[in-house]
Structure 1
Amino acid sequence: MDKISLNKCRFYGYHGAFKEEQTLGQIFTVDCDLFLDLTAASLSDRLEDTVHYGQVFELIKELVEGTPYILIERLAGAICQAIFEQFPSVQQIRCAIYKENPPIAGHYDSVGIELERRRP
């Protein structure tokens, strides 16, 4: 299966289990791979034969910068669900969300989760 990738998309949101995260917010980084058949687009050179990754970016942005969730697992689930609803040709999604500065004492680049979902 072919793939469209959006890598290291950065947004500011208010998701988290701790009050500080919900009040102060933080940067979230999202990687999203969309798996679909790109044969038609590879032959036609027409935008109509693919998924417009700019529209996917805007959808992810709307969700990350919108209504807060306690868990980033739920946020990733909402992203997957919205992509399936708006882009029928997408058959599988891998969505990873990272927090660079969660309220955890220690030294690390980020913490995060990754979901893989297939169209039902």
Structure 2
Amino acid sequence: MPRILVVDDDPISRQVLRAMLEKEGHVVSEAEDGSKAIQNYDSALIDLVITDIFMPEKEGVQTVRELMKENPDVKIIAVSGGSSSANYDSLDWIKMFGVKYTFTKPFNSKAILAAVDDLLSQ
């Protein structure tokens, strides 16, 4: 079963993603910030990371950069809350690091699951 790490400082977002992904048969672990995400990624066999962009401790962009530097083949989906232009710019900008899929919150669960399936099939 694919192992997915969900990184978000909002516990409700983590719970929603966990429930959605586990329903599809994925094994899900969680981290509430980028620092814990790096630790969890390094200590587990993670197939895919879904990360929020704006978090305390270590933001999503920094987390993505570190994960990609150490693991160039890491598969990552980025999400961001709100609808300000800064959030959209961050989601566009993060694609420069190799993130293929980005979503704004609230996200469409079918779209996220389709992105998960696509990345895991590569």
TM-score, normalised relative to structure 1: 0.30
Which has the higher relative contact order, 1 or 2, with Cα contacts under 8 A spaced 6 or more apart?
Answer: 1
Structure whose alpha-carbon radius of gyration is higher: 1
